[in-house]
Amino acid sequence: DTATGIPVVNDSTWDSLVLKADEPVFVDFWAPWCGPSKMIDPIVNELAQKYAGQFKFYKLNTDESPATPGQYGVRSIPTIMIFVNGEKKDTIIGAVSKDTLATSINKFL
């Protein structure tokens, strides 16, 4: 789903796109049936535009790629994770405000 303008990462591209990225990476673990995931979509989209060139943004559909969320202990969605140099540095669970997400992003700039 590229309707949001945010590229998709999946189990097979996770390593190359997220763990080997040069910039910090923001990953939105979501599912099409999840109401709160849809609620934060516009916020994530806005942040992706605001931090373009400083942060990489990806969405991972947990229905299509269950292995990765399982590996990182994702229990509920939406879950946002921030990775730096291949390491998970931050986790935000639930539909949170733009300010909350921006605060997490700014920690790694």
Distance CA 77, CA 89 (A): 18
The single residue listed with the structure tokens 């730096």 is 84
Burial zone of 22 (CB within 10 Å; 0-12 exposed, 13-18 middle, 19+ buried): exposed
Q: What is the pLDDT, as a whole number, of residue 5? A: 81
Q: Per DSSP, what are the bridge partners of residue 81?
A: 27, 91
For the stretch 76-99, pLDDT in tens is 999 999 999 999 999 999 999 999
What tokens does 16 get?
Answer: 């190359």
pLDDT tens for 15-68 read: 999 999 999 999 999 999 999 999 999 999 999 999 999 999 999 999 999 999
**Domains recognised in the chain with CATH numbers:** 14-106 (3.40.30.10)
Euclidean distance between CA atoms 73 and 52, whole angstroms: 28
Q: What is the DSSP string of 42-88?
A: HHHHHHHHHTBTTBEEEEEETTT--HHHHHTT--SSSEEEEEETTEE
Note the pTM of the prediction, 2 decimals: 0.94
Sequence-separated (6 or more) residues with CB below 8 Å from residue 73:
none
